[in-house]
Amino acid sequence: MSAGVNYLPLDKLERNSITVTTTSGIHGRQMTESVLGMLFSYTRNIRQSILNQEKREWGITEKGTDLVGKKS
């Protein structure tokens, strides 16, 4: 819900020997893999393929696109 510790009463925590720790950066790899997975799913029309599979429709889905050269 927030980032940083500036809003915490750090002096009071220190006086009471309370240590503040962080887990910053622990999900970097997972976030990267999730974003790549979503990009590939979108550009390769994987959602449509899954929907077709559930309906037992085995025809060719609309061709997707490559990420090469894409900037936005």
Token output for 63: 């061709």
23: how many CB neighbours lie within 10 A of its CB? Answer: 6
Q: Could you list the mean pLDDT of each consecutive 10-residue stretch along the chain, which spans 72 residues?
A: 77 93 84 92 88 88 82 76
pLDDT recorded at residue 1? 60
